[in-house]
Amino acid sequence: MASIQANKRLAKEYKNIVSNPPPYITAAPHEDNILEWHYVITGPPETPYENGQYHGTLTFPSDYPFNPPAIRMITPNGRFKENTRLCLSMSDYHPEAWNPAWSVVTILNGLLSFMTGDEQTTGSVSSSDRDKRILAKKSRHYNTYSNFKFKNMFPDLIDTNIKYMEREAALEAESKGKHQEENKAHKLATEKATSLDDISDPEDRVRLQELIKAEKDKKVEERNVGDNSNFKSVLCLVLAITIFFVGLIMK
């Protein structure tokens, strides 16, 4: 149970956070226990955590601010073990280093700074930047559908996350479609250039172009008939081109 001083201090800090939220950080106490705080860190730009969403907890002692909280991160992140007490200078691992003037914002800013560095400590893990980026991309999905504490503490962020993921999925699908079309167009242009550039006779080039066009028109027409018709069309195209090149060789 929180002391009167701890209750008063944490209530004041929450009021300050609401009126002046720090960059990349959201934090709030549990409605039934002011000593249990939940935070959300949004990964800063130009880091492997960019646009990631990291939920964790601060568990304060009853005599706060005279002793520091336990710090944990719940969302998989590639930097810290999930649901594990972290050994940091502002955590309960080092009460001798604690300064009562420090606040929730001080603690979370320190956590964010340590997270974006590469120093190791108890509770940290090693992973590549690529793995961190993959986890950052998956973090909102995890929080929204697998992290029940997050859903209870930050219901407004659930709706925000769903809209964000839908928007990202649409952009990814659009980008993938454009990429496939570009590859298809490039492949077709390369194939045409290869077959036509090998022919120096202008009349032969014209005949081959007409042959390719005719077979393409036939394929479009036969596509409505069924898969069997498509197979015959391809077979005819291969046979026609083979006869054409045999004719060139026989010249």
DSSP 52-82: -EEEEEEE--TTTTSSPPEEEE-S--SSB-B
Contact 142, 150 (CB under 8 A): no
Q: Using the 3D structure, point to which of 166, 181, 197 is the last residue of a domain.
A: 197
Copy the structure tokens of residue 198: 């090998």
Q: How many CB atoms lie within 10 A of CB 163?
A: 10
In 3-state terms, what secondary structure has residue 128?
coil
Sheet (strand 53-59) strand order: 25-30, 33-42, 53-59, 70-73
In a shared domain, residues 191 and 129: no
Residue 234's pLDDT band (cuts 50, 70, 90): low
In a shared domain, residues 16 and 70: yes
Q: What is the pLDDT of residue 169?
A: 92
**In CATH, what number is assigned to the domain containing residue 8?**
3.10.110.10
Contact 77, 114 (CB under 8 A): no
Q: Average pLDDT for residues 113-140, to the nearest whole number?
A: 97
In a shared domain, residues 18 and 136: yes
Q: Using the 3D structure, point to which of 152, 171, 186 is the last residue of a domain.
A: 152
In a shared domain, residues 209 and 174: no
Angle (nearest 5°) at CA 100 between 149 and 121:
60
133-151 per-position pLDDT tens digit: 999 999 999 999 999 999 9
Total residue count of the chain as it appears in this document: 251
Q: What is the CA radius of gyration of the chain?
A: 31
Residues 50/55/61/62 CA torsion (nearest 10 deg): 120
In a shared domain, residues 221 and 185: no
In a shared domain, residues 103 and 168: no
13-51 per-position pLDDT tens digit: 999 999 999 999 999 999 999 999 999 999 999 999 999
User: What domain range is 178 assigned to?
Assistant: 154-197
In a shared domain, residues 185 and 223: no
In a shared domain, residues 206 and 188: no
In a shared domain, residues 123 and 30: yes
Total domains in the chain come to 3
175-197 per-position pLDDT tens digit: 777 776 666 655 655 555 555 55
In a shared domain, residues 192 and 99: no
Residue 173's pLDDT band (cuts 50, 70, 90): confident
In a shared domain, residues 45 and 114: yes
Q: What is the pLDDT of residue 226?
A: 53
17-21, 71-75, 170-174, 180-184: least confident range: 180-184
Q: What is the pLDDT of residue 172?
A: 85
In a shared domain, residues 246 and 168: no
Q: Is 80 exposed, middle or buried (0-12, 13-18, 19+ CB in 10 A)?
A: buried
In 3-state terms, what secondary structure has residue 147?
coil
Asked whether residue 82 carries a pLDDT value surpassing 90, the answer given is yes
Check whether the bond before 65 is cis (ω within 30° of 0): yes
Catalytic residue numbers read 87
Residue 219's pLDDT band (cuts 50, 70, 90): low
Asked whether residue 157 carries a pLDDT value surpassing 80, the answer given is yes
